[in-house]
Amino acid sequence: MRIAFYAPLKAPNHATPSGDRRMARLLMAALEAAGHTVELASEFRSYEGRGEAARQAVIKARGEAEAAALVGRFREAPEPPEAWLSYHLYYKAPDWLGPAVCRQLDLPYLVAEASHAPKRAGGPWDLGHQAVAAALGEAAAVLSLTTLDMACVAPLLAPGAMLLHLPPFLDARPFAEARSGRAAGRAKWAAELGLEPEGHWLLTVAMMRPGDKLESYHRLAQALALLSGGDWTLLVVGDGPARDEVESLLNAAAKGRVVFAGARQPGDLPELYASSDLYLWPAAGEAYGMALLEAQAAGLPVVAGNVRGVPEVVWEGETALLVPENDPEAFAAAVRYFLDDPKRGHAGDVAAGRVARERGLERAGDILDRAITAARPGA
């Protein structure tokens, strides 16, 4: 089928890298892997982060105009879309396009990843909150990336609408390839970044910005300060407006054991993961954490905070140790456990295998295809 794809928070071709942008691209790739033709319907961004009602009203009006233009364009297209999929609806970034276009053109409307918190009703983003509820009521199928979201989404769906769990996924092939060339990759990065080839490389890949990311770096610094001894180095991949504060925090905590690699091209990341030994992330406020899945795909065990959807992207006790939120002593103990465990590599083998089998593009494409098939008229 020909699928019109739309992401109201951030288009998949947005200039700023993020987990949200990465998942949008992966959804398009999974649809294509399932045999569908995917077109980015619009780059219109509905996000409003300040809670200003007047600004939200302006965005809504612009969205309605964009939807009308899309209807006109699709009506004249020689091969118009046969279904619409919107990714990541929430109160700050509602979908003003998909439901309107689908009503006008009689297309099945599908949603991947939506959240709806009743506590937002009547708040500064009430317009977006109500719009998300209305959009979900028009959806033929909703795919939730975490089971946490399903409980609040289910009551909003129309009778007969499908609600499916689509666990976070990725293209595992680049990570498997990097893992098979680990020795060469490790030698390359050791030379480039000044890392000790025989030491333990602890890895963190995350943007450096205020909010939850910075809070995670704070928690990581607290844990590292308790991790004395051993031949470990923390390798940090990422950049952002809070970089100075992050560097100060980690340097003070780890005292000469931190290497900052800065932002790296996406093509470098599989090799950096595969060259390392253990992935660390406290995951403050994390919806689920794509980097945790990427690390496991490259064969790294994980130590992370037991937060929100994080348990849905790792296999606790097999590939990862999850610790209570904001507990630096427990986090440091989990890191030490892996550093002292001669069988640490086995957890990495299990991680890479499970991701390849259960979280690859093909598996995700099958779930998406099931939803699209069920949403077709007459299905």
Residue ranges making up the domain that contains 259? 173-358
Q: What is the DSSP string of 124-151?
A: TTHHHHHHHHHHHHH-SEEEESSHHHHH
Least confident of 196-205, 241-250, 337-346: 337-346
Question: 82-91, 228-237, 310-319, 340-349: which has the minimum mean pLDDT?
Answer: 340-349
Q: Indicate if the pLDDT at residue 343 is higher than 80.
A: no
The yes-or-no verdict on residue 197 having pLDDT over 60 is yes
Q: 33 with 154, same domain?
A: yes
Question: Is the pLDDT assigned to residue 379 strictly greater than 80?
Answer: no
**226-246: average pLDDT:** 93
DSSP 337: H
Q: Are residues 47 and 131 in the same domain?
A: yes
Q: Please, what is the average pLDDT of the chain?
A: 94
Number of domains within the chain = 2
Residue-level pLDDT at 342: 67
Q: What is the largest CA-CA distance in the chain?
A: 68
Please indicate, yes or no, whether residues 296 and 186 belong to a single structural domain of this protein.
Answer: yes
pLDDT at 344 over 80: no
Please give the structure tokens belonging to residue 313.
């992207």
Domain check: are 291 and 340 in the same one? Answer: yes
pLDDT band at residue 376 using 50, 70 and 90 as cut-offs? confident
| Least confident residue range of 2-6, 9-13, 59-63 | 9-13
pLDDT band at 284 (very low <50, low <70, confident <90, very high): very high
Instruction: Give the pLDDT band (50/70/90) at residue 155.
Output: very high
Give the tens place of pLDDT for each residue, 238-250.
999 999 999 999 9
pLDDT at residue number 19: 78
Residue 192 has pLDDT above 70, yes or no: yes
Least confident of 14-18, 268-272, 288-292, 298-302: 14-18
pLDDT at residue number 134: 97
| pLDDT at site 61 | 98
Query: What is the spatial distance between Cα 224 and Cα 249, in angstroms, rounded to a whole number?
Result: 10
Alpha helix ranges (H) inside the chain: 19-33, 53-76, 98-105, 126-138, 147-153, 173-180, 182-193, 212-224, 243-254, 269-275, 290-297, 328-340, 344-358, 361-375
Tell me the average pLDDT across 321-349. Answer: 90
Contact criterion met (CB below 8 Å) for 348 and 318 = no
Do 163 and 222 belong to one domain? Answer: no
CATH value at residue 340: 3.40.50.2000
Other C-beta atoms closer than 10 Å to the C-beta of 302 total 30
For 103-126, write each residue's pLDDT tens digit.
Answer: 999 999 999 999 888 899 999 999
Q: Domain check: are 293 and 340 in the same one?
A: yes
DSSP state of 10: S
Residue 378, pLDDT score = 62
What's the pLDDT band for 318 if we cut at 50, 70, 90?
A: very high
Indicate whether 335 and 307 sit together in one domain: yes
Same domain, 215 and 274: yes
Q: 347 and 211, same structural domain? A: yes
Q: What's the average model confidence in pLDDT over 121-139?
A: 96
Q: How far, in Å, CA of 312 to CA of 198, rounded?
A: 33
Q: Both 10 and 145 in a single domain?
A: yes
* Residue 261 pLDDT level (bands cut at 50, 70, 90): very high
Residue 159: CB partners within 8 Å, gap ≥ 6?
none
Q: Are 216 and 290 within 8 A, CB to CB?
A: no
Q: Which of 13-22, 64-73, 267-276 has the lowest mean pLDDT?
A: 13-22
3-state secondary structure of 6: strand
pLDDT of 115: 86
Same-domain status, 186 and 89: no
Does one domain contain both 232 and 246? Answer: yes
Residue 266 has pLDDT above 80, yes or no: yes
